[in-house]
């Protein structure tokens, strides 16, 4: 096949034919990409669901575990739903009449919502309209669906397409050498399918860094402009639940030099967020934009260090994967995942540099940074012993003293834990609270994998009194008693999480929609080159860290999902890039093209990694400098409210205060002043979001979080959640006195929001 492509596409002396073929090739690529991303469907096939394979699940829900496969499988399949998008075209009918509720949630199907069904991969979950048993009610159930190319089919098509392109580029080596399209084609293919070392090309590296920055800012601004929400951020900027808690802690640290006890369990991120908040003028949108910028720099630092190892297309895929992950779990949120990914990417970049230079100082710096990432966003802690093992192997392979390398690596890892201890000590917190939330996860595993919240149901008496640290200690004790008394339940919980890892990994491939299956396949395929080239310390490092993630997944994946692994998501991106590199080499071999020899400048000592590391560490320490005292909010007394109402002095959308104003249809919304169109907001909330019904039923004009500026110390500081009947956008940046009625509230996002009765401008 390789020789046939090269022979048929030889273009010596035929430049116009070459140009026509190039345009045709580009057009085919666009069509192929559009079909892959947008969906392509063939003829409709109808098949009957026999009663025997149908299994009762729960309530009214019944499951068909394996639908009949279409002819031509595995190159074609039935397109199914994903967590983010309803792609399935399957229509389920009862006695020839389509059931009325496709793409239903599991809860709706269990309750018979009515006649709901959902199609996930090979499985079909459904309920009958009257909640009867479809196996015995005497009715006939049929499914009709069009076939669609599978992930494997698209992968083979892209391989062939790339090989044809390479053959075209190679076909103009002869008489058509001088044509412009030949030079462009060869240059493009060489940059995509052969390693493009960004460490040797500073101008190209700067262009890539700028593109990443603009992409991250663009994704964030797109969410704000269109009102698209994520689980803990309404309209992409209004924090709720844990995200709101970390934002409050960051502002408390700037105002009073202390964190709330709830934040002491993970002191690293709220401290880092406080430093970023100080740089952003204590304005949430500016702080989120700065956070996205630092994340873009960290991602660039990693992909730049990856670029000499894999072809340009693999480097590009790694960058896209990290940005796609961050666009959901980082940019719109004030959550620990941000620090986890930023410190984690920097740690991996330093470790890759250590592997390139066989350097113990860079190894220690990378180990400390990775440890810091895991202390900021607790996750795959088993990667740390894997890192120690890798350090010993690399020392042995380099004929160095293994015990010394292992000792230094262990001390570097402990430095990350020491920093967590130092931060808690600096704010006068309780060290016993550090990572105490793992106690809840352990309890959920000890009762069969029921989740971290199960202890709240089983032992509500624990949370009536005591501190957060004492409650965590008590939960640890209960979990250990359950494990020793019924270890089989504990093993069942671990097995359930391991099964979830095999199905979806720690990256969260469902984010990638149509590309999910292909990327997941690349992650598993990458084990072949990783094991084959284990003598290369870079490949061995990725393999050992992935094994550490695998060992951690059964403990954590069920509770937090992929976001728990933010500190190590870079490892997943590197592993997938390794698989893409193998496919790129295959494409190059099929196309018969050879890289154009370029004269590259000599390697210069790079200062990027240490500069970026010092930057993020400087932001972390900024709240403990005199600048933090200058940024503290002024004390503003306000007592102008009737008796029984809460008097709150605050500056709207400044000093940590946030408002979300809803604009009715027909008016433009200015997100820079906290506005979002109501219709756009509802459209941008995913169906399965737990607070969707709260927002849909809210008829007021604005929501807000307000901190009391009249407090003299942290003990007197209070935070208020409230709602207003009208928009508050016109008060953006103004100092206000709010009168809140605690007896008139709405429960939104699981907490009460007090009604704003009146407001007074204080300046």
**Banded pLDDT at 6 (limits 50, 70, 90):** very low
Largest CA-CA distance found in the chain, in angstroms, rounded: 92
Q: What is the pLDDT of residue 531?
A: 92
Amino acid 7: pLDDT: 46
Residue 182: what pLDDT?
62
Contact predicate 363/372, CB 8 Å: no
Whether residue 548 sits in one domain with residue 526: yes
549 and 661 belong to one structural domain = no
Does residue 534 register a pLDDT over 60?
Answer: yes
Last residue of a domain, one of 587, 622, 657: 622
| C-beta of residue 661 within 8 angstroms of C-beta of residue 720 | no
Residues 270-292 pLDDT 10s? 999 999 999 998 899 999 999 99
Q: Tens digit of pLDDT for each residue in 640-674?
A: 888 888 888 888 988 888 999 998 866 788 888 88
662 in any annotated domain: yes
Q: What pairs with residue 233 in β-bridges?
A: 230, 239
Report the C-alpha gap between 220 and 216 in whole angstroms: 6
Same domain, 58 and 204: no
Q: From residue 122, give the alpha-carbon distance in Å to each of 118, 370, 416, 599, 714.
A: 11, 38, 44, 52, 55
Task: Work out the end-to-end distance of the chain between its first and last CA atoms, rounded to an integer number of angstroms.
Answer: 78
Same domain, 6 and 65: no
From the list 378, 305, 275, the residue with the least C-alpha distance to 631 is: 275
Are 521 and 655 within one domain? Answer: no
The answer to whether position 425 is within a domain reads yes
- pLDDT value at residue 211: 94
Residues 61/109, Cβ–Cβ less than 8 Å = yes
- Counted domains in the chain: 4
Q: What is the pLDDT of residue 9?
A: 47
pLDDT recorded at residue 594: 58
Tell which wins on pLDDT, 192 or 734: 734
Expressed in percent and rounded to 5, the helix, strand and coil fractions of the chain are 55, 15, 30
Q: What is the pLDDT of residues 542-594, one digit of tens each?
A: 999 999 999 998 888 877 788 889 999 999 999 999 999 988 887 776 656 55
**Could you tell me which of 222, 239, 221, 569 has the C-alpha nearest to residue 380?**
569
Mean of pLDDT values over 214-236: 91
Identify the residue with better confidence: 207 or 27. 207
CB 432 within 8 A of CB 469: yes
Q: Say whether both 174 and 103 belong to one domain.
A: no
For residues 215 and 222, is the Cβ–Cβ distance under 8 A?
no
Same domain, 169 and 299: no
Same domain, 652 and 579: no
Cis-peptide, bond into residue 10, ω within 30° of zero: no
> Over pLDDT 90: what percentage of the chain?
30
Residue 406 counted as domain residue: yes
Same structural domain, 107 and 48: yes
| Alpha-carbon dihedral 547, 552, 554, 560, rounded to 10 degrees | -130
Indicate the pairing of strand 675-677 with strand 658-663: parallel
Which domain covers residue 34, as residue numbers?
2-39+155-180
On whether the pTM is more than 0.75, the answer is yes
More confident residue, 742 or 113: 742
What pLDDT shows up at residue 756? Answer: 93
Highest mean pLDDT out of 53-67, 82-96, 167-181: 53-67
Q: What is the pLDDT of residue 176?
A: 44
Tokens of 232: 């803990």
How much is the pLDDT for 84?
A: 55
Question: What integer is the mean pLDDT of 302-318?
Answer: 91
What pLDDT sits at residue 25?
75
357 within some domain: yes
Domain presence at residue 628:
no
Note whether 687 and 578 are same-domain residues: no
pLDDT reading at 5 higher than 60: no
Q: Is residue 483 part of a domain?
A: yes
- Tell me, yes or no, whether 144 and 159 share the same domain: no
* Enclosing H/E stretch for 481: helix 468-485
Distance CA 187, CA 205 (A): 17
Q: Average pLDDT, whole number, for the chain?
A: 83
pLDDT tens-digit profile of 325-377? 998 878 999 999 999 999 999 999 999 999 988 899 999 999 999 999 998 88
Surface-to-core class of residue 496, CB atoms within 10 Å of its CB (0-12 exposed, 13-18 middle, 19+ buried): middle
Asked if 708 and 251 touch (Cβ cutoff 8 Å), the reply is no
| Same domain, yes or no: 129 and 210 | no
Say if CB 390 and CB 543 are below 8 A apart.
Answer: no
Residue 718 lies in a domain: yes
Domain boundary among 622, 642, 659: 622
Q: 174 falls in which pLDDT band (50, 70, 90)?
A: very low
**665: helix, strand or coil:** coil
Q: Which of 599, 622, 645 is the last residue of a domain?
A: 622
**Is residue 596 one of the residues assigned to a domain?**
yes
| 128-142, 364-378, 445-459, 478-492: least confident range | 445-459
């Amino acid at each position: 096949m390789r020789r046939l492509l090269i022979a048929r596409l030889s273009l010596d002396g035929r430049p116009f034919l070459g140009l026509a073929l190039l345009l045709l090739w580009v057009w085919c690529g666009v069509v192929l990409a559009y079909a892959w991303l947008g969906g392509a469907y063939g003829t409709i096939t109808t098949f009957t669901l026999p009663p025997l394979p149908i299994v009762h699940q729960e309530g009214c829900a019944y499951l068909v575990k394996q639908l009949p496969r279409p002819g031509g499988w595995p190159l074609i399949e039935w397109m199914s739903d994903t967590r983010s998008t309803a792609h399935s075209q399957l229509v389920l009918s009862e006695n020839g009449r389509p059931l009325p509720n496709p793409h239903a949630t599991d809860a709706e199907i269990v309750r018979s919502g009515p006649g709901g069904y959902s199609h996930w991969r090979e499985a079909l979950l459904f309920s009958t309209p009257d909640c009867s048993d479809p196996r015995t009610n005497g009715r006939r159930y049929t499914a009709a669906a069009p076939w669609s190319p599978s992930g494997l089919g698209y992968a083979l098509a892209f391989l062939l397409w790339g090989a044809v392109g390479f053959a075209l580029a190679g076909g103009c080596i002869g008489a058509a050498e001088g044509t412009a399209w030949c030079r462009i084609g060869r240059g493009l293919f060489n940059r995509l399918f052969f390693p493009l070392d960004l460490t040797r090309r500073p101008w190209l590296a700067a262009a890539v860094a700028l593109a990443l920055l603009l992409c991250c800012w663009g994704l964030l601004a797109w969410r704000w402009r269109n009102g698209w929400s994520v689980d803990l951020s309404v309209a992409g900027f209004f924090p709720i639940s844990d995200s709101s808690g970390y934002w409050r802690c960051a502002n408390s640290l700037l105002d009073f030099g202390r964190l709330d006890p709830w934040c002491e369990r993970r002191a690293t991120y709220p401290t880092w967020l406080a430093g970023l908040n100080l740089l952003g003028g204590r304005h949430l949108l500016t702080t989120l934009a700065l956070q996205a910028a630092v994340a873009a720099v960290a991602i660039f630092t990693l992909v730049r260090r990856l670029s000499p190892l894999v072809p340009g297309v693999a480097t590009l895929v790694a960058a896209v994967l990290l940005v796609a992950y961050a666009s959901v779990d980082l940019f719109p949120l004030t959550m620990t995942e941000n620090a986890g990914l930023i410190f984690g990417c920097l740690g991996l970049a330093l470790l890759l540099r250590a592997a390139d230079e066989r350097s113990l100082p860079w190894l220690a710096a990378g180990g400390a940074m990775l440890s810091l990432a895991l202390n900021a966003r607790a996750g795959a802690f088993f990667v740390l012993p894997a890192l120690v093992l890798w350090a010993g192997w690399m020392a042995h392979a380099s004929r160095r003293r293994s015990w010394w390398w292992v000792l230094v690596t262990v001390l570097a890892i402990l430095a990350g834990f020491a920093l967590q201890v130092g931060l808690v000590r600096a704010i006068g917190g309780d060290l016993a609270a550090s990572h105490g939330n793992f106690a809840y996860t352990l309890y959920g595993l000890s009762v069969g994998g029921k989740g971290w919240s199960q202890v709240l149901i089983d032992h509500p008496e624990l949370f009536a009194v005591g501190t957060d640290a004492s409650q965590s200690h008590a939960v640890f004790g209960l979990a250990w008693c359950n494990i020793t008394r019924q270890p089989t339940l504990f093993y069942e919980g671990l097995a359930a999480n391991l099964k979830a890892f095999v199905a979806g990994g720690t990256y969260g491939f469902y984010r990638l929609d149509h590309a999910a299956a292909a990327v997941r396949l690349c992650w598993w395929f990458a084990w072949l080159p990783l094991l084959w080239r284990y003598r290369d310390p870079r490949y061995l490092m990725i393999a050992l860290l992935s094994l550490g993630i695998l060992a951690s997944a059964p403990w954590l994946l069920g509770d937090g999902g992929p976001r728990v692994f933010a500190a190590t998501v870079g490892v997943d991106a590197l592993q997938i890039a390794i698989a893409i590199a193998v496919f790129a080499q295959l494409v190059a071999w099929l196309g018969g093209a050879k890289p154009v020899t370029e004269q590259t400048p000599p390697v210069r000592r790079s200062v990027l990694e240490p500069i970026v590391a010092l930057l993020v560490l400087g932001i972390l320490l900024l709240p403990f400098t005199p600048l933090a005292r200058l940024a503290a909010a002024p004390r503003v007394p306000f007592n102008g409210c009737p008796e029984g109402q809460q008097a709150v002095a605050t500056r709207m959308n400044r000093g940590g205060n946030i408002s979300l104003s809803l604009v009715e249809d027909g008016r433009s919304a200015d997100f820079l002043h906290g506005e979002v169109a109501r219709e756009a907001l509802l459209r941008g909330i995913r169906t399965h979001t737990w607070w969707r019904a709260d927002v849909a039923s809210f008829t007021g004009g604005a929501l807000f979080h307000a901190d009391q500026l009249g407090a003299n110390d942290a003990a007197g500081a209070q935070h208020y959640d409230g709602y207003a009947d009208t928009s508050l956008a016109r008060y953006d940046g103004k100092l206000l006195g709010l009168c809140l009625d605690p007896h008139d509230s709405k429960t939104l996002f699981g907490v009460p929001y007090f009604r704003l009765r009146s407001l007074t401008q204080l300046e």
